[in-house]
Amino acid sequence: MRFRLIINFMFFYIYDSFLADKKYEKILGKIEIRLTNLGIAGRNIRLSILKNVEEIVKDLPEKDSPTIVIIGEDKTFFKAAKALVGKRTPIGFIPIRGNSIVAKLLGLPINEFACDVVSARLIETINLGKVNKETFFSFLEIPAKDVIITCDHQYLIRTNKLKKVRIFNLGLLQFGDSFRETEEKKMIANPKDKYLEILIGNPSERFLFWRKKEKLDSLFFAEKIDIISKKRNKKIPIIVDGEKIIELPVSIGLSRELIRVVVGRNRLI
């Protein structure tokens, strides 16, 4: 008698809210067919204004170690990943837009081609960053003017005529938020080392038909970072993962808890 071992993983697919647009119907159709052919079709959950991705992810059952897969864009993936801190549930990603930085770093093709990566279920454990009591997946952004950065309680960094500071856990070391094929040689911030990367410089700017290139001035590596404002009582906003805003002063480090991410073979981390 021959026995065939079949392991059924549970899969939850969370569809980004922008995918409700009719123009994505065809792509989603192809993804669903591919998932069914691979035998990994699961429960589909569609995000909307009323359905918050963090709450949905937190409420999903952990029993049988299901895989949560985000179909959509980087920002939604960041939010879902942060909601999984401390859980053993792995998270996968099917990127819909071709300029996804996460897709590039995790070695994921876009659209239906990413289904094969989800099916292979190759998992990497990575760090998350922590800013005060909140976690972040990719980066923080702060205006460089009027701040003092202290690294590892050992040295201070003061900036002069520079506009932006980005602190990375995972990402391409750049100020832009999308990946361009021409920039293949860019350095990456690796979430598997014990350091956060601090990038200081000026982002690219556009004036009518003229585009000023971004300027990367400085790069530091630190485990603990404290940032204060040079001027008392001055509120300086910090953008967390390209979205949420908190204010100075902040204490930044790596979260002790890790998350499990489904990656492709061509990953850069």
Partner 1 sequence: MSKKNEEVNSEAETIIGAGVEVEGTFVSSGNVTVKGRVLGSLETKNDLYVAETASIEAEVKAKNAFIGGEVKGDVVAEEKVKLSNSAKVFGDITCQTLSIEEGAILNGKCQMSKREEGKEE
Task: Kindly list the residues in this chain that would bind partner 1 in the complex (CB under 8 A).
Answer: 154-162, 200-201, 216-221
Place of tokens 């014990």: 194
Pick 19 or 151: Cβ nearer partner 1: 151
Residues with Cβ within 8 Å of 18's Cβ and at least 6 positions away in sequence, in order, are 24, 72, 73
* Minimum gap (Å) between residue 199 Cβ and partner 1: 9
- Cβ proximity to partner 1, 155 vs 192, nearer residue: 155
State the minimum distance, in angstroms, from the CB of residue 158 to partner 1.
5
Residue whose CB is less far from partner 1, 158 or 206: 158
Least spacing, CB of residue 198 vs partner 1, in Å? 10
Tell me the three state secondary structure of residue 100: coil
What does each C-alpha distance from 184 to 44, 130, 144, 172, 242 come to in angstroms?
34, 28, 27, 10, 22
Identify the CA nearest to 253 among candidates 196, 205, 213, 173.
Answer: 196
Provide, rounded to whole angstroms, the least separation between the CB of residue 219 and partner 1. 5
Question: Of 79 and 164, which has the nearer Cβ to partner 1?
Answer: 164
Tokens standing for residue 252: 């930044």
